């Protein structure tokens, strides 16, 4: 019964992507929608940035297992990131009229740092895109009975096709449609679950003590872990091409700034839906809490929800993954064409040629990510490996580029190496109660400022 709806949704998404591709005449149209997106499009695009399978299945699972403290990283860290980006970065970056964050590093530190940061940023996206393709593949395996490799391949083909065709215009228009489906779908599903189960207030009062605590009650170790959870998305995604690219597509500076606040607020509200469903499962349907709590939510809906509710849930889930995946594909593709291919050709390239290279880059990102997804199908590991590079290697040089007085190429390189190395040591070598991400961030800070003691002021680029 669900198959016709899924096929129709695929065709609608592809149709929108190819239709809006008619607006793409040059590279600026493709990578930043010609900076013509109204506030409403930008806000929905930023809302859809992270609202994927992790938010629906992962957050509900963590909430069931660990309570409110288990979901600090996501959604609360994601909301923090959008607010911080709007507060400190959106205005400054929008005024610079850049194409990528790699351009910021080239203009500030020179081409060597541009290349290093670009490679770091591109690498960080492969695992994330692969995770979304695996999630879609698993979903289609469950709903349609497809082999996993077929589900991943079909997903890669669909999302890759409309992203390649329309770029940021396709992403933004489909994000608006997909976001409406997400909000209506998850809202309807949540209401149906509560209506079936009874009094929500009674369920809340039946929870174990401390389940809804927002801050830890333990000692320094628990507070360190708490700070680390806030930092993963809250700080780690600040130096990310995908959030910058969506903000940069706004038609005005005001829209660029406000879209982060609006998108973050929408994300917070919509992310409460899977948490509420998790609460209902925790209190009223403990039989669904098995070895893998990630499947508790779909199992509950398949049991108590009729076909309309199931269509809304899986429609919301497909929309969520599509919207997250498309932006995660375009961001590294833009970096690859603008900051690696274009410099390699030393400017001997027309705008139309660069547009073709950017579209080819989209295909490259999709193919590599699909291969990674076919060979490594642990979604949690794929996402985890892709989320840390920004905070421990790129964030400090980016903040210095925007706010610092002493901008130095050598210090920036040392900062990136020191931060990444420190993270590796704390992640895989030392068994201490200090989050490896925060340790890497501190290493990056020290790696930048200590060398300045011995380095003379450099010339500007």
Residue 400 has a pLDDT of 96
Residue 281 has a pLDDT of 87
- The residues near 60 (Cβ < 8 Å, ≥ 6 apart) are 274, 275, 277, 278, 281, 293, 294, 296, 297
Residue-level pLDDT, tens digit, the chain, 461 residues: 667 877 888 788 888 888 888 888 888 899 998 899 999 999 999 998 888 777 887 788 888 888 999 899 888 999 999 999 999 999 999 999 999 999 999 999 999 999 999 998 998 888 888 888 888 887 777 777 778 889 889 889 988 998 998 899 888 888 888 888 889 888 988 888 888 887 788 888 888 888 999 999 888 889 999 999 899 889 988 999 999 999 999 999 999 999 999 999 999 999 999 899 888 888 888 877 765 666 677 778 777 777 788 788 778 888 888 888 888 899 999 999 999 999 998 868 898 999 999 999 999 999 999 998 888 655 555 665 566 788 899 999 999 999 998 899 999 999 999 999 999 999 887 777 788 899 999 999 999 999 998 887 665 55
pTM here is 0.89
SS3 annotation, 133-179: HHHHHHHHHHHHCCCHHHHHHHHHHHHHHHHHHHHHHHHHHHHHHHH
Residue 334 has a pLDDT of 95
Superfamily of structural domain 2-385: Sodium/glucose cotransporter (1.20.1730.10)
Residue 1 has a pLDDT of 61
SS3 annotation, 170-221: HHHHHHHHHHHHHHHHHHHHHHHHHHHHCCHHHHHHCCCCCCCCCCCCCCHH
Residue 147 has a pLDDT of 84
The domain ranges of the chain are: 2-385, 405-461
Residue 260 has a pLDDT of 95
Residue 458 has a pLDDT of 63
């Amino acid at each position: 019964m669900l198959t016709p709806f899924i096929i129709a949704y695929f065709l609608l998404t592809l149709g929108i992507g190819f239709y809006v591709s008619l607006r793409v005449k040059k590279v600026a149209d493709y990578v930043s929608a010609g900076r013509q997106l109204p506030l409403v499009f930008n806000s929905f695009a930023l809302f859809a940035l992270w609202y994927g399978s992790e938010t629906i299945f992962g957050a509900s699972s963590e909430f069931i297992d660990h309570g409110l403290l288990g979901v600090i990283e996501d959604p609360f860290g994601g909301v923090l990131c959008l607010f911080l980006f709007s507060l400190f970065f959106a205005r400054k970056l929008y005024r610079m009229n850049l194409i990528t964050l790699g351009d910021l590093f080239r203009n500030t530190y020179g081409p060597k740092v541009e290349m290093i940061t670009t490679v770091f940023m591109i690498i960080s996206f492969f695992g994330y895109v692969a995770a979304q393709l695996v999630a879609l593949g698993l979903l289609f395996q469950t709903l349609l009975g497809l082999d996993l490799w077929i589900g991943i391949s079909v997903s890669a083909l669909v999302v890759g096709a409309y992203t390649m065709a329309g770029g940021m215009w396709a992403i933004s228009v489909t994000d608006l449609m997909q976001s409406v489906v997400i909000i209506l779908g998850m809202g309807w599903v949540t209401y149906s679950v509560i209506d079936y189960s009874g009094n929500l207030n009674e369920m809340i009062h039946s929870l174990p003590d401390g389940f809804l605590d927002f801050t830890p009650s333990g000692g320094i170790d628990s507070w360190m872990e708490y700070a680390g959870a806030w930092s993963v998305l809250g700080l780690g995604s600040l130096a990310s091409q995908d959030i910058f690219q969506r903000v940069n597509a706004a038609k005005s500076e005001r829209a660029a700034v406000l879209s982060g606040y609006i998108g973050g607020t929408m994300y917070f509200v919509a992310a409460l839906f899977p948490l509420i469903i998790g609460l209902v499962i925790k209190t009223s349907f403990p039989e669904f809490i098995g070895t893998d709590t990630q499947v508790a939510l779909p199992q509950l809906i398949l049991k108590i929800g009729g076909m309309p509710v199931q269509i809304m849930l899986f429609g919301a889930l497909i929309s969520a993954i599509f919207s997250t995946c498309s932006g995660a594909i375009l961001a590294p593709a833009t970096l690859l064409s603008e900051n690696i291919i274009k410099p390699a050709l030393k400017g001997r390239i027309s705008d139309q040629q660069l547009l073709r290279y950017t579209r080819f880059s989209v295909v490259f990102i999709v193919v590599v990510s699909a291969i990674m997804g076919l060979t490594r199908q642990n979604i949690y590991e794929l996402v985890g490996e892709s989320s840390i590079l920004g905070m421990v290697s790129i964030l400090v040089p980016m903040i210095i580029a925007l706010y610092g007085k002493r901008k130095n190429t050598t210090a920036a390189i040392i900062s990136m190496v020191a931060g990444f190395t420190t993270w590796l040591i704390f992640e895989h070598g030392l068994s201490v109660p200090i989050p490896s991400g925060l340790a890497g961030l501190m290493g990056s800070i020290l790696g930048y400022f200590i060398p300045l003691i011995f380095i003379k002021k450099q010339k500007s680029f």
